[in-house]
Amino acid sequence: MNKSEIKITIIGLGYVGLPLAVEFAKKYKVIGFDINQNRIEELEKNNDSTLEIKDETISSVRDNLNFTSNIDDTKECNIYIICIPTPIDEFNKPNLEPLINSSKTVGGVIKKNDIIIYESTVYPGATEDICVKELEKSSGLKFNQDFFCGYSPERINPGDKVNTLSKIVKITSGSTPKIADKVDELYKSIITAGTYKVSSIKVAEAAKVIENTQRDLNIALINELSVILGRLNLDTLEVLEAAGSKWNFLPFRPGLVGGHCIGVDPYYLTHAAEQVNYNPQIILAGRRINDNMGFYMVQKVIQQMINNDIEIKNSTVGLMGITFKENCRDFRIQKL
Amino acid sequence: MNKSEIKITIIGLGYVGLPLAVEFAKKYKVIGFDINQNRIEELEKNNDSTLEIKDETISSVRDNLNFTSNIDDTKECNIYIICIPTPIDEFNKPNLEPLINSSKTVGGVIKKNDIIIYESTVYPGATEDICVKELEKSSGLKFNQDFFCGYSPERINPGDKVNTLSKIVKITSGSTPKIADKVDELYKSIITAGTYKVSSIKVAEAAKVIENTQRDLNIALINELSVILGRLNLDTLEVLEAAGSKWNFLPFRPGLVGGHCIGVDPYYLTHAAEQVNYNPQIILAGRRINDNMGFYMVQKVIQQMINNDIEIKNSTVGLMGITFKENCRDFRIQKL
């Protein structure tokens, strides 16, 4: 495939898909697809409500970048990159429905030799076991014969203006060694930090899902420490800062974890572990701690209110800055 | 206290106490005390069997440094620094007996205005609750009136020739603000990396015990991941290296933890937690995983032996390099 022949569709234009579409549009013809008509309308006006990409950056690549909510507009493309969220359900189990639906949608338009690349965080095996099956079903084409797949996990850090898409090394993989090379070449052409090609899609899936698991667990440990230190009447921050005077102490801080990744991805990994009859001890302990920090904080507030003779029942609570990212602005009033 | 008046006894001349004695002896009169007569004899010959300090380094400070196993030889000292191991018993509970015994011993010789500094890793509160009580009992003196205490946790990394005593920032604390300043001044005079004074002995104790807990847990997570990835037929190292291509992924590796610190210190912290009715979830999950990695490896070996038609019962196993530090030489033959 020559550069001039490459036509890319990005499926899903959230804070992962849009930056990718804009970056690719600097070099290739790109169609941005989203089922959300409102999102398409704002992007048509070069306006990104997620605040990841500036208006002028979008407008500067519009010669190469079109937006649509009609999948038939993407039929001339030969590369489809799926940037769809992978949430969990109310039982903390992976909810692959959005991913399955978009695989069906894409399966309806792909042709021979097209490459479908997934960027969504999943458990190891999910792309080939679940998504490929849907692609085969709805396309009638055969995997690794008629069409091929790649997996290149997104590493977007929402709101981070330093570590942006092109400045973060990107893991690449493909369903055959030749396709892995093609996927790697494609990303290499836009990621100035370089790419990291691995031996299989499954390895790439695993590498992604353990990243956020490690972060979740380190925050959970600090949360557990803060509970213990609190009971021992010690100032958590003073203790952490003292420990941090050692060169190899890791400077995590207690707090809530949230967003689409840290609190979610570990459950994808534990789901896969349970599939092979391993009950994860540490990872789930970490999740429990972090999931309970909200309740813990409420408990602390109520204790303080009681100590200060504040009536609990009819109180109004103002939540200031309770966001999963620091320095976000949020203010909510909540009736207890 | 002028510099010329300072006379220091180091209690316990292992890989913590000896480097400290040698460093202080560059500036002060120091007596090194150990109950182990063999240790005293080798040190008298300037020979350190723990290989932390070179012969010529010891001999170069012998004008200021004497060794003894008789506590009465230390009576003229005014600062006692206790560098005694704090192991766990067979129920993974802190075994404070060595610390209590050395506190008794030191209590037998201290005089008015002496300062006793502890370097041993303990749970927050142990120095003042346990050790001080012993000192008072055996000395007949009153704490913070007749004698004073400090706590400055050792951060020696055995075998590490780069991060040596004087190059690692040292936390200091004291039983009164004035004593904290004195303890800080004392260590500042030998630690070129500087000191980090905290507000209380308890904070210093907590800071130390969480350091190794964090390390233990991070290794435990990687061990758990390696078990899961193994079951998913993925190469752990390839996955870790791929994840490591992200700037903020922490490069821990699976393996056994051992020695006097990593596998022990977390139990000191959990002991304190249970004292205040908190059952630590993550820390103990981490300990369980790491404590079980030996069994896990044996299981893997036996599986391989069965697969390769090797008779288990009368086999002889050679253990190569099974040490808790990398690049140590060890070779043992074990009958299964």
The single residue of A77, A131, A149, A261 carrying the catalytic annotation is: A261
Which residues from chain A sit within 8 angstroms of residue B231, using beta carbons? 273, 276-278
Please give the residue of chain A at the shortest CA–CA distance from B246. A169
Interface contact B78, partner A, CB < 8 A: no
Lowest mean pLDDT among A117-121, B59-63, B149-153, B328-332: B328-332
**What pLDDT does residue B325 have?**
63
Q: Are A132 and A113 in contact (CB under 8 A)?
A: no
Q: Which member of B125, B239, B278 has the closest CB to residue A207?
A: B239
Calculate how close chain B gets to A29, using CA atoms only, in Å. 28
Both A249 and A284 in one domain: the answer is yes
Is the residue at A204 inside a domain?
no
Q: What is the CATH number of the domain that holds B51?
A: 3.40.50.720
CATH classification of the domain holding B268: 1.10.1040.10
pLDDT at B324 over 80: no
Residues B16 and B161 occupy one common structural domain: yes
Question: Closest to A217 (Cβ–Cβ): which among B221, B277, B280?
Answer: B221
Q: Which two tokens stand for residue A207?
A: 């590498």
Across chain B, mean pLDDT equals 93
Q: pLDDT tens digits, residue range A192-251?
A: 999 999 999 999 999 999 999 999 999 999 999 999 999 999 999 999 999 999 999 999
pLDDT at B276 over 60: yes
Examine the domain organization and report whether A14 and A54 are in the same domain: yes
Share of chain B above pLDDT 70, in %: 95
Residue A199 with chain B: CB contacts under 8 Å: 235, 238
Q: Which of A69-78, A167-176, A185-194, B260-269 has the lowest mean pLDDT?
A: B260-269
Residue A206 lies in a domain: no
Does residue B182 share a domain with residue B219?
no
Q: Is residue B204 part of a domain?
A: no
Cβ atoms of B89 and B268 within 8 Å: the answer is: no
Percent of chain A with pLDDT over 70: 95
- A206 → closest Cβ in B206, B229, B283: B229
Q: How far apart are the first and last CA of chain A?
A: 61
Compute the average pLDDT of residues B199-207.
Answer: 98
Has residue A207 been placed in a domain?
Answer: no
Please say which residue of B199, B224, B253 terminates a domain: B199
* Residue ending a domain, choose from A170, A199, A228: A199
Whether residues B186 and B263 share a domain: the answer is no
A159 and A113 belong to one structural domain: yes
Q: How confident is the model at residue A171 (pLDDT cuts 50, 70, 90)?
A: very high
A218 touches chain B (CB under 8 A): yes
The residues, any chain, with a CB within 8 Å of residue B122's CB and separated by 6 or more, are: B86, B94, B96, B99, B130, B205, B209, B268
Token couple for A225: 């420490």
In a domain, A190, yes or no: yes
Task: Write out chain A residues lying below 8 Å of B286, CB-based.
Answer: 282
Question: Which value does ipTM take for this structure?
Answer: 0.92
The answer on B8 and B129 residing in a single domain is yes
**Shortest Cα–Cα distance, A109 to chain B (Å):** 32
Residue A330 reports pLDDT greater than 50? no
pTM over 0.80: yes
Assign A333 a pLDDT band (cuts: 50, 70, 90).
Answer: low
Q: In chain A, how many domains are there?
A: 2
DSSP assignment letter at A176: S
Q: What distance in Å separates residue B132's CA from the closest CA in chain A?
A: 19
Nearest to B201 by CA among B142, B114, B143, B137: B143
Looking at the complex, does the CB of residue B232 fall below 8 Å from at least one CB of chain A?
yes
pLDDT recorded at residue A328: 54
pLDDT on residue B27: 96
Task: Please give the Cα distance from B273 to B156 (Å, whole number).
Answer: 25
In this complex, which of A232, A278, A283 lies closest to B272 when CB atoms are compared? A232
Contacts of A234 in chain B (CB under 8 A): 124, 202-203, 206
Residues B186 and B259 in one domain: no
What pLDDT is attached to residue B240? 97
Inter-chain residue contact B221 with A283, CB threshold 8 Å: yes
| Closest alpha carbon within chain B to A250 | B214
| Residue B331 pLDDT greater than 60, yes or no | no
Is A234 in contact with B278 (Cβ distance < 8 A)? no
Residues A176 and A232 in one domain: no
**pLDDT higher for B216 or A158?**
B216
Chain B residues within an 8 Å CB radius of A154: none
- With CB atoms and an 8 Å threshold, state whether A206 touches B215: no
Q: Which domain, by its residues, includes B297?
A: 209-335
Which residues of chain A have a CB within 8 Å of the CB of B271?
none
pLDDT at B328: 54
Please say if A131 is a catalytic residue. no
A237 and A297 co-located in one domain? yes
Q: What is the pLDDT of residues A52-85, one digit of tens each?
A: 899 999 999 999 999 999 999 999 999 999 999 9
Question: For the residues A300-313, what does the mean pLDDT come to?
Answer: 92
Which carries the bigger pLDDT value, residue A4 or residue A180? Answer: A180
B125 Cβ under 8 Å from any chain A Cβ:
yes
- The confidence score (pLDDT) of residue B330 equals 46
Are residues B163 and B65 both part of a single domain?
yes
Residue B143, domain member (yes or no): yes
CB B48 within 8 A of CB B40: no
**A228 and A152, same structural domain?**
no
Three-class SS of chain B:
CCHHHCEEEEECCCCCHHHHHHHHHCCCEEEEECCCHHHHHHHHCCCCCCCCCCHHHHHHCCCCEEEECCHHHHCCCCEEEECCCCCECCCCCECCHHHHHHHHHHHCCCCCCCEEEECCCCCCCHHHHHHHHHHHHHHCCCECCCEEEEECCCCCCCCCCCCCHHHCCEEECECCHHHHHHHHHHHHCCCCCCEEECCCHHHHHHHHHHHHHHHHHHHHHHHHHHHHHHHCCCCHHHHHHHHCCCCCCCCCCCCCCCCCCCCCHHHHHHHHHHHCCCCCCHHHHHHHHHHHHHHHHHHHHHHHHHHCCCCCCCCEEEEECCCCCCCCCCEEEEEC
Single out the residue in B199, B230, B257 at which a domain terminates: B199
Tell me: pLDDT of B177 over 50. yes
One of B131, B149, B261, B328 is an active-site residue; which one? Answer: B261
Q: Which residue has the higher pLDDT, A50 or B333?
A: A50
List the single residue in B with minimal CA-CA distance to A221.
Answer: B282
